[in-house]
Chain A
Amino acid sequence: MLKDFFSLAFKNLRSRGIRSWLTLLGVFIGITAVVSLISLGNGLQLAVASQFGISANELITVQAGGISGYGPPGSTVVDPITRDDARAIERLSSVENTVVRNIRSAKIEFNDNIKFYYIGSLAQNKEDLDLVYTQLDQKPIFGRLLKESDLGKVVLGYNYYAKEEDWDGKPITVGKSILINDKKFEVIGILKKEGSLITDNVILMLEDDMDGLFDFGEVADIIVVQPKNKEDIDRTKEDVEKLLRQRRGVKEGKENFEVSTPESALAMVNNIIGGVKMFIIIVASISIFIGLIGIINTMTTSVMERRREIGIAKSIGARNEHIFLQFFIESSLLGLIGGIAGAFFGTMLGFAGMYGINSLLGTELVPNIDFLLILFSLIGSFLIGGIAGIIPAMQAAKQNPVEALRG
């Protein structure tokens, strides 16, 4: 008999007007948000991490806090980290090596076009240079990376090559020369696409060349710290923090510097994603709640509009529970249909998002299609529809047959 009520409910739903379907928007949006979010899965984490230039190396990064203006890390701080800090850190027993890096914005000129981008310095001895390359975790797509002897030469991020429209249609390729703050440099390598606005637009040059363009003095924008023991990275981090607190005369919790490991940076990324997820879940919950109210509304209207039909059914032998079941199932199916549409659209959105991430980062990630999640979403939307339908279905069942027959 239950099957018959499902069949009757389907027939009734088929004849519903657009108004009924519009009330499903809430459930639809809620389920779309949840399913697309989960489909994106770790793709979202990777996308955010790459935007922050976080890679899975085992190095510690130190930079000054208390930013006073807009600019690259460490470049606009009130109280900068110094090369002396770097030397002190290197003397710590848990530290193997440190490298200072400076980052500045510069005027780039090519093919009579001028742009402003960031330049990052590279150390000038092989050991330190290797450490920086480990930290950067970047590979060339054309040409090669800089060696310690490559003065007057630069390596460019992927966008200098790919965004030829920035240079009047001429891509910057290996072998070409560009002007940086009016000084000529030869391009010897183009980095692989990272999908990050920072790294894809970066210019790498040796420390001495960069010193020739800017007057750094003792200022160190970033100190890359290599721990002696990779397993002890967290202890090394604590040692560095303790040392810098002493040197800069600040108390714990009041630090005007930042010491981060890839793990702590990833934790930050996860925090951001957690926040985004929480926001989406709140939006989804609100949408589903609105959907629930929408279904209650459309079902109540439906009961009013179909009083005569209820009267007819009662006159030909329908018990109250039959009428209740019919409206309850109809309402549950309404929710389910919203859920199916949401799950489908959410999956599509997940695919589209992953496609976007892949084309941005050059990765080949596949979206998670979590069938269990989809199943739960569908069961959930069916239940939401059912819950929304309880009161209207009770109202329908309670109708007096004589009055209901009058319509």
Chain B
Amino acid sequence: MDKKDEKKVIIELENVHKYYRMGENIVKAVNGVSLQIKEGEFVAILGPSGSGKSTMMNLIGSLDVPTKGKILLDHQDISTLSESDLAQIRGKKIGFIFQSFNLINNLTAKENVMLPMIFQGYSVEERNHRANKLMEMVELSERMGHAPNELSGGQQQRVAIARSLANSPEVILADEPTGNLDTKTGTNVMNFLQDLHKKGKTIVMVTHDVELIDSYPDIVYWLRDGKIEKITKRSKAGKG
């Protein structure tokens, strides 16, 4: 048992299934997945379109509950929790980064970063202080008062990274974080995620981009038709 295995398990999926009804048919988006994500890991869930990775991300992020099986977040079964408790857990323990940034356009960049803190009841002073620090960290101090649509794609994604860190979550969940960015900006965003990982954050990234898995994740779960096809560790990643 190496050192990593001794680390605390943060997220655990036990034989998880997620089915959707599409008209007359049942779509098995996730079909019997089991995995463990440990503290401080950089995990990638890789798969082609329709492989079930978005559903996986929703399940891991407790945005959705499984049809069958168990998802344990900090050893707590999320399917037993109320919607409000799930929201509370999401806000505290998970930070989301989306492909299309998902910032709120009526709010400034800084207000977007402060928003998750409102839901956790932080004081105005603390919100301001933390948002300033986070905006500084993503090198956007000068753009704090700008609306999202006044920022470039890369800048918006950096605001989204800052927002994901607002409540100091244990896990950062990134859904195709470079999907809407050019290569250079994408690399820049990945470097931010890498830095966070080095600082001890657990990163779970969902992507279809095979190139990304060479340099960043420790473990890659290869997903196909709702099932884990294979698991590769960093040294083997990208080699199939």
Contact = CB atoms under 8 A, between A and B. Distances in A.
B116 A316 contact: yes
A322 B106 contact: no
A387 interface: no
B119 A320 contact: no
Given A12-B106, A313-B115, 13 more contacts: A1-B118, A8-B107, A11-B106, A312-B102, A314-B63, A314-B90, A316-B95, A316-B116, A316-B166, A317-B116, A318-B91, A319-B83, A405-B98
B87 interface: yes
Given A12-B106, A402-B63, A316 B91 contact: yes
A4 B63 contact: no
A15 interface: yes
Contacts of B91: 316-318
Contacts of B63: 314-315, 401-402, 405
A14 interface: yes
A11 B105 CA distance: 10
Interface in B104-154: 104-107, 111, 115-116, 118-121
Nearest to B93: A317
A314 B96 CA distance: 11
A316 B163 CA distance: 9
A394 to B, nearest CB: 13
Contacts of A311: 102
B102 A308 contact: yes
B191 interface: no
Interface residues of A, number: 24
A318 to B, nearest CB: 5
A309 interface: yes
A322 B119 contact: yes
B187 interface: no
A320 B90 CA distance: 13
B178 interface: no
A315 B112 CA distance: 13
A1 B121 contact: yes
A232 interface: no
Nearest to B101: A312
Interface in A311-338: 311-322
Interface in A9-35: 11-12, 14-15
Interface in A288-320: 308-309, 311-320
B112 to A, nearest CB: 9
B226 interface: no
A55 B115 CA distance: 67
Nearest to B58: A402
A401 B64 CA distance: 8
B92 A312 contact: no
A1 B123 CA distance: 9
A385 B87 CA distance: 28
B25 interface: no
A317 B90 contact: yes
A317 B87 contact: yes
A374 B115 CA distance: 35
Contacts of A12: 106
Residue in A12, A315, A402 whose Cβ sees the most chain B Cβ within 10 Å: A315
Contacts of A308: 102
Interface string B39-59: 000000000000000000010
Contacts of B104: 309, 312-313
A55 B84 CA distance: 70
Nearest to B83: A320
B61 A315 contact: yes
